Homo-oligomer: A and B are copies of this chain.
Amino acid sequence: MRIAVIGLGLIGGSLLRALTAAGHEVTGFDADPATRDLARAAGCRVLDSTAAAVAGTEVTVLAVPLPVLPRIFEDLAGYDGVLTDVTSVKGPVQDLAEKYGVRRFVGGHPMAGTEASGFAAADPKLFGGCIWVLCLEPHGTGLDDWLTLARLYTALGTRVLPITAVEHDNAVASISHVPHLLAATLATKLLESPLNKALAAGSFRDGSRVAATRPELTAAMCGGNANEVIRELTHVIDDLVRLRERLELSDPVHAQLDYLRRASELRRAWPPVPGAAGRLTADVQALLALGRSGGWVTSVDGHEVATIRPETDRYSS
Q: Which of B211, B212, B236, B291 is the one whose CB lies under 8 Å from A240?
A: B236
Q: Contacts A199-B161, A236-B240, A244-B230; is A268 near B179 (CB within 8 Å)?
A: no
Q: Closest approach, in angstroms, between the C-beta of A213 and any C-beta of chain B?
A: 7
Q: Which of B189, B215, B316 contacts A257 (CB 8 A)?
A: B215
Q: Which parts of A178-225 form the interface with B (CB within 8 Å)?
A: 178-204, 206-216, 218-220, 222-224
Stretch at the interface among A53-61, A147-155, A247-255: A247-255
Q: Do B223 and A263 have beta carbons less than 8 Å apart?
A: no
Are the C-beta atoms of B247 and A229 separated by less than 8 Å? Answer: yes
Total interface residues on A, using CB and 8 Å? 101
Q: Among B203, B226, B291, which residue has its beta carbon within 8 angstroms of that of A247?
A: B226
CB neighbours (8 Å) of A293 from chain B are 194
A253 touches B224 (CB 8 A): yes
CB of A230 within 8 A of CB of B248, answer yes
The contact of A262 among B188, B219, B234, by CB within 8 Å, is B188
Chain B residue contacts of A239, Cβ below 8 A: 185, 188
B236 and A222 contact, CB distance less than 8 A: no
On chain B, the residues within 8 Å of A178 by CB distance are 186
A44 within 8 A of B: no
Contact B200 A271 (CB under 8 A): yes
Choose one: B202, B218, B292; the contact of A260 (CB below 8 Å).
Answer: B218
Q: Give the docked Cα–Cα distance between A247 and B222 (Å).
A: 8
Q: Roughly how many angstroms separate A267 CA and B191 CA in the complex, as a whole number?
A: 10
Contact residues in B for A163 (Cβ distance below 8 Å): 195
Q: How far is the CA of A191 from the CA of B314 in the complex (A)?
A: 10
Residues from chain B with a CB closer than 8 A to the CB of A224 are 253
A197 and B254 contact, Cβ closer than 8 Å, known pairs A207-B207, A215-B261: no
Is A243 a contact partner of B185 (Cβ separation < 8 A)? Answer: yes
A34 at the interface (CB under 8 A from B): no
Given contacts A184-B260, A189-B174, A262-B188, contact A291 B207 (CB under 8 A): no
Q: Are A253 and B161 in contact (CB under 8 A)?
A: no
As a 0/1 sequence over residues 77 to 106 of chain A, the CB contacts with chain B under 8 angstroms (1 = contact) are 000000000000000000000000000000
Residue of B nearest to A66 (CB): B253
Contact of A243 among B233, B259, B260 (CB under 8 A): B233
Given A244-B237, A252-B222, check contact A172 B199 (CB 8 Å). yes
Given contacts A211-B264, A222-B252, A226-B252, 20 further A-B contacts (CB under 8 A): A113-B202, A172-B199, A175-B201, A176-B200, A176-B203, A179-B204, A181-B243, A183-B263, A184-B259, A197-B271, A200-B270, A206-B210, A208-B267, A211-B263, A212-B264, A215-B257, A218-B264, A219-B257, A223-B254, A226-B248
Q: What are 13 A-B interface contacts by the 8 Å CB criterion?
A: A174-B189, A175-B201, A176-B201, A176-B203, A181-B243, A188-B239, A188-B263, A188-B266, A190-B267, A193-B294, A194-B293, A216-B257, A222-B252
